Amino acid sequence: MSTGPLNLNDADFWSDPRRTRGEIESPLLDAGRDVLLFDAPVVVPIDVQATAPAQALRVARLSTLRDWPFREHAIVVGVDLANNMVQAALAVEPPDRPVPPPEPASDRPAQVGMGSETFTIDLRQRLELPWEPGRVQARLIVGDQFTPARTLELKTTSKHVDPEVERFRAEQRLKTCVPALMPAPDVAGLSYARDERMPPLPEGVGLALSAPRLCVMGADTPCTLRGSFRLPVLKRHIVPAGATASGTEALRTQWAAESARGRRLPTAVVPITLVGANASYGGPAVWRLVLPVFEALDFKGPQPVGIGTFSLDLRTLSGFADEEQSWYLYGFSDEAFSGPLPVGLTRRPRTP
């Protein structure tokens, strides 16, 4: 079984997760650059273990460790690959003390040198993972730093398989259940049309995002996020033919006004989750999108694949424009990942 970036065997995560710390961090400290490493077991035996431990090792300049403290800014993101559901949370328990506002950069004493820190993260607890067989792809984010994903397989060691349970799960995976679109199609600034400002459509499976580097709060100009995607589609998210097809009621009710204007119903829908990290304390912002696919699906691979584009005004997302701050935006859907996308929010200077 191949090991990850911390050279740990699966058993080490439960018995000695810091076993390799010394040998790995020494050359990184000597190199004098910021490095974030994240590792997790390949297999988690859920009938034997009660936790899904991951390990983080951070080597960074002292100024980075001070300005972006791990407990206040490290975000762990997990994608349930069977259901394309994304969870994000602070990687470790936040401090139980009020976090003071950051000092202005000019008031901070200069810090030189390097430091390191390591943390054990219980993915089951932080991501509220259902303790059942499945595959979870997890990664770590600190501001504009992110790690490669690690895929964990949650499985039982028992050889017994209940055929009724397996039959039920298979039926549910195939049963049509198409969610309503998010945002709703009548939200101001939302469009599914492709234009020349859209990022290029990924050649393979993927997600591409673009946005203005700077947005002025209160201005008439929208802060437009644009996206192009070529993504796997869950079979239960395919819209079947027939005006009364069961499992599509929510979408059809929502789309009624668009249909009256002559717009055809989507072929399928795709969930995309935006995760926002910023310099403020309080954990990640999570915005769940459900977007339409209008073109015919590609059925050549193991999963159907749909393509689409969208644009929306970031200011319509709850909490995005509440205060002046700089965001790092990341996009997730199935195994596709995009980011970081920096977007700074500011105001025009006041004038008499």
Three-class SS of residue 344?
strand
Residue type at 66 in one-letter notation: R
Q: Are 225 and 252 in contact (CB under 8 A)?
A: no
Integer Cα distance of 146 and 20 in angstroms: 21
What's the confidence (pLDDT) of residue 64? 93
Question: Could you tell me the pTM of the whole model?
Answer: 0.91
Q: Is the pLDDT of residue 81 over 90?
A: yes
Nearest to 55 by CA among 34, 76, 80, 73: 76
Q: For all residues of the chain together, what is the average pLDDT? A: 91
Region 69-92: what's the mean pLDDT? 96
Tell me the pLDDT tens digit for each residue of 275-295.
999 877 668 999 999 999 999
**Assigned token pair, 265:** 């119903």
Integer Cα distance of 135 and 123 in angstroms: 13
**First and final C-alpha spacing in the chain:** 68
Region 5-12: what's the mean pLDDT? 96
Residues of the chain with CATH 2.60.40: 12-155
Q: Is the pLDDT of residue 20 over 80?
A: yes
What's the confidence (pLDDT) of residue 138? 98
Q: What's domain 12-155's architecture?
A: Sandwich (2.60)
Rg (C-alpha) for the chain, rounded Å, is: 22
For the ranges 109-113, 136-140, 194-198, the one whose mean pLDDT is highest: 136-140
Region 259-266: what's the mean pLDDT? 89
Work out the percent of the chain whose per-residue pLDDT is above 90: 73
> Where does the chain have alpha helices with state H?
12-15, 21-31, 62-67, 70-73, 123-126, 163-174, 249-260
Tell me the pLDDT tens digit for each residue of 160-201.
777 877 787 777 777 889 999 999 999 999 999 998 999 999
What's the confidence (pLDDT) of residue 101? 57
Give 105's pLDDT tier (boundaries 50, 70, 90).
low
Q: Is the pLDDT of residue 106 over 60?
A: no
Q: Are 230 and 335 in contact (CB under 8 A)?
A: no
Three-class SS of residue 119?
strand
Q: Is the pLDDT of residue 312 over 90?
A: yes
Integer Cα distance of 263 and 347 in angstroms: 38
Tell me the pLDDT tens digit for each residue of 233-248.
999 999 998 666 788 9
Strand positions, DSSP E, 156-249: 206-210, 214-216, 224-232
Region 243-258: what's the mean pLDDT? 86
For the ranges 139-148, 233-242, 257-266, the one whose mean pLDDT is highest: 139-148
Burial 88-117 (b: 16+ CB within 10 A, else e): bbbbbeeeeeeeeeeeeeeeeeeeeebbbe
Q: Are 313 and 223 in contact (CB under 8 A)?
A: yes
**Assigned token pair, 91:** 């990687």
Region 105-129: what's the mean pLDDT? 86
Region 43-54: what's the mean pLDDT? 97
